[in-house]
Every structure is written in C-alpha cells, then in structure tokens.
Structure 1
C-alpha cells in the first residue's frame, strides 16, 4: 500500500477510516483507469494516459482525505470497469458514492445514470428533464465535475445537433465509448 496524502499524522490513519479513500490504477483499451473507493462505494473513476496525473487529479478532488493505494482490494473493481469498457451491454454494477457534488450536480448525475447503454441525450434535453429548461450550460458543468466516469455516464451527453462536445477524459475516448455502446 502506498499512502500519497495524509491530511493528518500517519498514526491517526486507523482512527480516520471514514476519511480514507482507497485507490488503484489499471489498464484498459482507452487508457489508464483509476478507481477510488470510500466506505460507501466508488467515489471516482478517472481515465487518462499518465498514472501520476490521475493520482494528482484524485488528490485535488478529495482534499484532506487520506488516499491509500490498494490494488489488491480494488482488483475486482478495476476488472469490472475494464470489462464494461469492452462490453458495455453488461452494465457496470458497482456501488457509487455520489456525495461529492452539489444537489444540482447530484440531480444531473442521477438522471445520467438512467440513460440506457447505446442511447444519448442532449445537454438541453437533459436540462429540461431535470426541470431546468434554460440550464444546458449548468448541466454541461455538472458533467465536467463528474468524478465517476462510466459509472455516471456523462459520455452519453451530446450537443443539440447530435455531435460530440467536450469530454473531461478526451473526445477520442468519448467517441470510442459511444461506438462500443452503439454496437452492442
């Protein structure tokens, strides 16, 4: 195990189990994946090309938390995420911890989780669906703040014309994910 950030003395780590987030980094067909787990469930799935950058991103998203690298404990989560990337029709059945967002972001994220695999929705339609007809930009910001890629499928949100727009993890990854979902 590797302790990358403490936020408190190491001797207090056992006492602060609720403030601990375990994480692990694995490989997938779309790049490196970092999964992080709180005492409630998966609180982050980050995608990228550089493990160090993913660890820094995790630290920025959870300041003051104790981040502990624990590949053995998260091996099954990493396998499930990699499997989902390859065969998205099987779903991604992991417990999620979505507490790290505003109430508005959480509403957007809950709605995103209801979009079926292989389907897309526009930012405007998503905003209308949650009762904010003029909130397309706010919906886009909520998507960008999503730390649980794939578990909260913000890659399924597209522009009004159906074209791809910004994706926190890169447009090529978004395109690849949507392509795999469309071919199930």
Structure 2
C-alpha cells in the first residue's frame, strides 16, 4: 500500500525513506531504474517521492543518482587531491566548510584524557536530523560527541557516553543541546562564531581529525591521501583506524574519506548514511552543479 499524498513525514521518517531509496539506487545504478521503480521501493507514488526527495536533497533523484557512482567518486578524488596539494603549498586552511559552519577542534590535555572525564559535566540530548537520529554531547568547552543511530533512547545514549567518559557527570538535557543541533543542521546565511569541538584522543588521532577538517564540502579524499596530508604516507591503515574512532560525526567529516577504488569503505554510522552524506553534500555544492 502506498502512502497517501497528504502524508507528511518527520525528519526521522523522511531520512528512513530516503536512505532506503538511496540504497536501491546505488545497488541498481547500472540498470538505471526509473523514478516509478525507485518510488515503489519506499511505497510512494512517483510524484510524492519526487517531491519528498527534492525537498530533502535540493535536486531531483535522477540528478542525485550521478553522485552515487564509483566513476563520480574517482573524479572527485582526483580533484580533491589537487585542492589539498594547493592548500599545503600555500600553507592555508581549506575553504568550503558546510554552509556558514566553521569548526575549531580543541584537544583535551593528557591529564584530562587519562582521567576519562573526571571533573567534567557533560550535557547530552537526542534529536532528529536530516540524516537520522543523533546523539550530541557537550562539555562547557564544546561538543565532545556526535553519533548517529537508527534508533536510540536515553538509556542507550547514556551507556554509550559512559563507555567514553567513565568518570564524567552526565546530564540528559535536550533543551541545552537543541540550539547547537539547529546551528549544525539548519544553518543560516548569517555568519556566526565557530563551533568548538572539545575532544579526547591520542596525538595521532587528533592529527588525523584536524586533517579531516581540511577536506572541503563536496570533496572526497582517500585514506592514503589523508596519510600523505599529515606527512605519514605509509600510515594509511593507522589513519583508517583513527577515522573509525572519530567521536564527532558530520562536523569532523570522516565520511569524506573513501577507498581509492571509488568504493565507500567502512563508516562508523553505516555505509548508506555515508553515501547519503556524500551525495547530499555534492548536491549542495554549487561548484559541482
């Protein structure tokens, strides 16, 4: 049974439908399924699906599908390599942050790292986003965690945070985190202050996470390329491990790193979400349109 044309969807429901459609588009790209075939996978009429998808992505499903191909990914890898090389040569930080978002990463001290959050008060909340359910957590100095889930409740969220912040005081306070979520996922055209990330990690992990911030919106790098960026060209595997430990999804854009073959590779929060993020960012990047 198809959903009614009058049916409206929450952010969570919209993402679930979009993710299912994207998975089908990726898996069947060679057959180039038409709009009606894709819409059938999510039990929508082709008109309702076209409208919903365009509202979410800003472009049609047909146009969006070009950003899901291996060929497109390989082309973007080459472009990104040139951008990052120019950045290194000029000694500048890369442009192209998401809309008006600027992110500064502040690492915790070795002492703070060892105490696993002792003396820290961490407020956290659970929110719907265009890419599914999100858990976000903040210290008084900045965002320390941002994780995506297919479903999550307060207990699951607290257990997740306790695994990383054993000795911190955890406070569920979605009102305190909503303003930050709105800044991240509903950015305005007015330039604001930078978003501060307050993260704990080894020196190498911090180095990798800082390098990720240099990859511009709509660009795609490889694990080897990122290793080269931090002057560790033979450490691609270690770079991959550090990426897998990224505590702040989306803002530290580990989703922009894929395999040299053009395949997605792994992602802490699911390959389909990674595909959705990459293709959505490509659709938002005016220079790619």
Bin of the TM-score, shorter chain as denominator length: 0.7 to 0.9
1:31: which partner in 2? 132
2:193 is the alignment partner of 1:83: no
2:95 is the alignment partner of 1:95: no
Q: Is 2:118–2:168's contact at 8 Å kept on the other side of the alignment?
A: no
User: Stretches of 4+ moved more than 6 A in 1?
Assistant: none
- In the TM superposition, what is the alpha-carbon distance from 1:159 to its structure 2 partner? 0.4
Query: Which secondary structure state, in structure 2, belongs to the residue aligned with residue 55 of structure 1?
Result: helix
Query: Which secondary structure state, in structure 2, belongs to the residue aligned with residue 74 of structure 1?
Result: helix
- In the TM superposition, what is the alpha-carbon distance from 1:82 to its structure 2 partner? 2.9
Q: Counterparts of 1:21 and 1:120 in 2: how far apart (Å)? A: 33
Q: Give structure 2 stretches of 5+ with no counterpart.
A: 1-116, 285-289
Return the TM-score normalized by structure 2.
0.53
Q: Deviations over 1:129-180 (max 9, x none)?
A: 1111111110111111111001110000010112101000000100000011
Q: Is 1:118–1:178's contact at 8 Å kept on the other side of the alignment?
A: yes
Query: Which secondary structure state, in structure 2, belongs to the residue aligned with residue 119 of structure 1?
Result: coil
Decide whether aligned partners of structure 1 residues 18 and 94 sit closer, same or farther in structure 2, where only a CA change above 3 A counts.
farther
2:270 is the alignment partner of 1:167: no
Query: Which secondary structure state, in structure 1, belongs to the residue aligned with residue 166 of structure 2?
Result: coil
1:4: which partner in 2? none
1:65 equivalent among 154, 168, 177: 168
Q: Is 2:158–2:170's contact at 8 Å kept on the other side of the alignment?
A: no
2:265 is the alignment partner of 1:157: no
Query: Which secondary structure state, in structure 2, belongs to the residue aligned with residue 77 of structure 1?
Result: helix
Q: Counterparts of 1:17 and 1:102 in 2: how far apart (Å)? A: 18
1:50: which partner in 2? 151
Decide whether aligned partners of structure 1 residues 128 and 181 sit closer, same or farther in structure 2, where only a CA change above 3 A counts.
same
- In the TM superposition, what is the alpha-carbon distance from 1:113 to its structure 2 partner? 0.6
Q: Is 1:92–1:151's contact at 8 Å kept on the other side of the alignment?
A: no
Q: Is 1:25–1:35's contact at 8 Å kept on the other side of the alignment?
A: yes
Decide whether aligned partners of structure 1 residues 55 and 91 sit closer, same or farther in structure 2, where only a CA change above 3 A counts.
farther
2:236: which partner in 1? 136
2:209: which partner in 1? 109
Higher strand share: 1
Return the TM-score normalized by structure 1.
0.82
- In the TM superposition, what is the alpha-carbon distance from 1:31 to its structure 2 partner? 1.4
- In the TM superposition, what is the alpha-carbon distance from 1:94 to its structure 2 partner? 1.7
Q: Counterparts of 1:49 and 1:83 in 2: how far apart (Å)? A: 21
Deviates more, 1:55-64 or 1:26-35: 55-64
Q: Give the number of aligned pairs.
A: 164
Decide whether aligned partners of structure 1 residues 91 and 46 sit closer, same or farther in structure 2, where only a CA change above 3 A counts.
farther
2:222: which partner in 1? 122
Higher helix share: 2
Q: Give structure 1 stretches of 5+ with no counterpart.
A: 1-15
